[in-house]
Structures are given as C-alpha cells and as structure tokens.
Amino acid sequence: MNRFVAVASFFVAAQSLAAEPSAAAPVDSKAAFERLKTLAGDWQGQASHGPQQSFPATVTYRLASNGTVVMETLMPGTPHEMISMYHLDGGELVMTHYCGIGNQPRMKLDTTASTPNELKFAFVGGTNLDPAKDGHIHAGALKFDGPALLADWTFWAGGKEMGHNVFNLKRASATTAAPASVAAPAPAAAPAPAARPAAAPQAKH
C-alpha cells in the first residue's frame, strides 16, 4: 500500500511540474538594441511626476555614431532638455542618462526581467552621485505598445524609491513632427514653459 501511495505521489508531482509554464528565455541584448533603433523619430504626448503633475512632452530618438548609439532627447530645445545614450558594451545593452540635476546614472538592460516588448533597465552606478544619498534615476522601463511608447523611470533619493517619471507617447505625424536634428527642433514641438510644473525637472523624464 505504501509503495502504491509513493508511486501515485510521484506521478502527481510530475504532472504538476509539466503543467507549470517554463520560464521565459532572457531577452537578447543585441535584439533589444535593434528594437530601440526603431524608435528613431519624434514622439509627443504627456509626462507626469505624481498624479497632480502632468504636462505636454516631446521626446526625440536618433541614431548616432554610424548607428552604434541611440540618442534620446527629452524636451528638446527647452531649459529642461536632457539626453540619454544607449549602446552595446560587448554583449550587454547599457545606457547613460545625463540628468538635468547634474549627475549621470548608468543602467544596464535586465535581460531576465525584460520581454521583447518591455525593456527594463537596472542601476549599475554613475558619476557625480552617491546612490545612498543623492537623488537620481535608479531604474526604468520602455514599453512598446503598437504605435504608443510608455517610458517609466524610477526616481530615488536617500537610498529609496521616491516616485516615478512617466511618459505616455505616440509617434508624431509627418506634418507635426519636429525635425530629427536635436540641435534645432521646431519651436512648436517644445511645451510652453508655463505648462511645466516647477518640480517636474528634478530628474530624468
């Protein structure tokens, strides 16, 4: 009888393991970088920092350095303009954010947490900041949703999460998009200064 119970238990356990979905394979960094390249162009929508702080946003993406770098420009042509650079480092996808508050956090694609449609970046260091004390962007995600792009960047201060800077964007139409040149964006693409809350430009996005 005990032998029968043991055999039965074995088959039940085996069936349970077979029913569990297998873990998703890690995202390939090179494939993720190619996906980032498809963002090239101008994007417009709304950005928010907390529920009461929403304002018009423009973000541009362009390929640089013979296509080896994706350059992301936030709020081009405004006093709040900030830049992030994405590129491959060997077999890893990395980025550096040049923040308006004067520091430069570095992140790396988390290949196990990411999916082909959502690229998640984790903090790996930076310059001009002490992550245990200083405010900085500590993590982020880019979610591809058809014609839309959702960028969610986590802001840290005092060694803990303090909030999110979220961009809900859609690709600008050919008739309203600013030129691809970061140096001379169309004035209409930048939000009016009065529309941006004073507290919003504390960090990336």
Residue 43 Cα distances to 30, 48, 50, 93, 103, angstroms: 23, 15, 21, 22, 25
Q: Is the pLDDT of residue 148 over 90?
A: yes
Percent of the chain at pLDDT exceeding 70:
72
For residues 176 and 186, is the Cβ–Cβ distance under 8 A? no
Q: Write the single-letter amino acid at 140.
A: G
Question: HSE (CB half, 13 Å, CA atoms) of 160?
Answer: 0
pTM: 0.74
Q: What is the mean pLDDT of residues 40-66?
A: 92
- Provide the Cα torsion 165, 170, 176, 177; round to 10°: 70
Q: Write the single-letter amino acid at 144.
A: F
The tens digit of pLDDT for each residue in 14-43 reads: 454 444 444 678 999 999 999 999 999 999
Percent of the chain at pLDDT exceeding 90:
67
Q: Write the single-letter amino acid at 10.
A: F
Higher per-residue confidence, 4 vs 149: 149
Dihedral (CA of 116, 117, 122, 126) sign:
positive
For residues 88 and 8, is the Cβ–Cβ distance under 8 A? no
Q: What is the pLDDT of residue 157?
A: 96
Q: What is the mean pLDDT of residues 171-179?
A: 57
